[in-house]
Structure 1
Amino acid sequence: MILGLLQLSSPTLPLGAYSYSEGLETLVERGAIADDDSLFYWLLQELQIGAVRMEAAVMVRAFRGFKKRDFSGLSTWNKWLSAAKETSELRQQSWQMGNSLWGLLLELESVSEAANSDSPLKVALTTIGKPCNYAIAFGVGAANWNLDEKMALLGYLQSWTSHAIGAGVKLIPLGQTVGQKLLFKSNKTIAEVAEEILLLKDDDLASCSWGLSLASMAHEVQYTRLFRS
């Protein structure tokens, strides 16, 4: 079980996550984030009230929906999350990573002795269709691999944090050791936020990330860029 979690949340998973900064590049360019302290503050705000918190909550719903074989519910949450994206850049990122993860999950299932044309994973993909958001694909993949729900949530949040820190290390720039210290310092907040997310009702799903949204929109027309968007 732990091996599956490590693989699913690994930064080396070929989904293209490394090529996105989610507006962080714009914030660094404008001087809003200029050192490890300001980067850490941004990380905490995003985890506590930002879009990643809401997306993680939808991931949990995808996990539970797949366990119940509620494929129509999965499709509904996928559409809901697409509509909740505040910029086309963030939406396209989620779709690209989600579609890539779907393809990878199917490739990995093809090497399983239990693989067949009527597998729940393939039925879910057919029902949801494309584009598929990353949080949906992650939740389905975690449930399909029989991972623990809370551990999958922690892996999702830690993976996002790790990618965000990686972008900050390149952009500010910071040393790799500083990046690892930031990730270690984030663990407490990740654990606390995970506990909160597990208790959220559907009507509680919301985020406050208008600053990130403005940065994301500005990044598309930024003069020089290291990241896609």
Structure 2
Amino acid sequence: MSPAASADGAALLQLMWLASPALPVGGFSYSEGLESAVDAGLVTNEAQAGDWLLDQLHLSLARSDIAVAAGAFVAWKNGDLDRVATLNDWIGMTRESSEMRQQTQQMGRSLLEWLKNRGTGDPRLASLAALAPAPTWPVAFALAAAQTGAPLRETLLSFAFGWAENMVQAALKAVPLGQNAGQRVLARLADAIPAAVDHAANLADHERQAFTPMLAILSAQHETQYSRLFRS
């Protein structure tokens, strides 16, 4: 095996690690409003769960978090800390409920601690830790991926698939769905992720958006929902 092929394999494994639900950042504890949609009777079966998550992928994630992860990945590579801070601020300002804001900040902090514990000595970790009020998940993920040496597109595919796995696991518990149904929903998301990633990677700053009124309302309602399995 050539050194180049070996390096590519190592980077791929690192991205798989970052996308894994076993990564200790707490992604499994959030449903991102899905639990509230189930409680409201908007998602009651496999087909509706798949449709809901596909809409969330294209209308929310691709237009905001994946696009920010793309920009932050390039900024970390180029040492452009001002742009990193701007992108981090944008994520914080566009979260439409306290639960959504707490999720991105908690996961960002947790990934920062995981990166510190790896002991790589990367001086950029100090810049990530200095982001106020906290590093957000897409920005922290972008730095973790930049450390792997992986290309941008593969980084964004990893980011999106990690989201998809966590959301399908949330659907299994909240709807609820069986394992086979969950795999079919995940297959639908996997088919749609490459196009969503390509769209996000080509968005200009003025084209990013975070406008999902129904999701914002459901998220706010979830804060006082009577019975909850998830933190969002």
- TM-score bracket, normalised by the shorter chain, equals over 0.9
| Structure 2 equivalent of residue 2 of structure 1 | 12
Pairing 1:31-110 to 2, within 5 Å after superposition: 31-51=41-61, 53-108=63-118, 110=119
1:79 Cα deviation after fit? 1.1
Residue in 2 aligned with 1:166?
A: 169
**CA deviations over 1:194-220 (Å, ceiling 9, x no partner):** 111111111100133111111100001
How many residue pairs get matched?
222
Distance 1:148 1:24 in 2: 31
Superimposed CA distance per residue, residues 65-89 of structure 1 (whole angstroms, 9 cap, x where no aligned partner): 0000111221121111100111111
Helix, strand or coil at the partner of 1:86? coil
- The share of aligned pairs that are identical, in percent, is 34
Corresponding residue number in structure 2 for 1:138: 141
Q: For the residues of structure 2 that align with 1:175 and 1:97, how far apart are their CA atoms? A: 27
TM-score normalized by the length of structure 2 = 0.91
TM-score normalized with structure 1 length: 0.93
Larger CA deviation: 202-211 vs 87-96: 202-211
Q: Distance in 2 between matches of 1:142 and 1:30?
A: 37
Aligned partners of 2:62 and 2:200 also within 8 Å: no
Paired amino acid for 2:157: L
Residue 188 of structure 1, CA deviation: 2.0
Instruction: Tell me the amino acid that sits aligned with residue 97 of structure 1.
Output: M
TM-superposed CA distance for 1:120, in Å, is 3.2
State the distance in 1 between where 2:86 and 2:14 align: 27
For residue 37 of structure 2, what is the aligned residue in structure 1? 27
CA RMSD of aligned residues (A): 1.4
How far is 1:96 from its partner? Answer: 0.3
Which residue matches 1:209?
Answer: 212
> 1: distance between equivalents of 2:62 and 2:152?
17
Is this contact kept in 2: 1:51–1:208, CA < 8 A? no
Quick one: distance in 2 between partners of 1:5 and 1:222? 35
Letter in 1 for 2:33: G
8 Å CA contact 1:99, 1:130 repeated in 2? no
The letter for the 2-side match of 1:198 is A
Answer with 120-129 or 87-96: which moved more: 120-129
Distance 1:2 1:51, change over 3 A: closer
Please give the alpha-carbon distance, in whole angstroms, between the structure 1 residues aligned to 2:89 and 2:29: 24
Segments of 5+ residues of structure 2 without an aligned counterpart are 1-10
**Which residue identity does 2:160 align to in structure 1?**
L
- 2:8 maps to which residue? none
The alignment status of 1:198 with 2:201, answered yes or no, reads yes
Give the unaligned 5+ runs of structure 1. none
Aligned to 2:64, what secondary structure does the other structure show?
helix
User: Matches of 1:123 and 1:98 in 2, distance apart?
Assistant: 14
Q: Displaced runs of 4+ in structure 1, greater than 6 A?
A: none
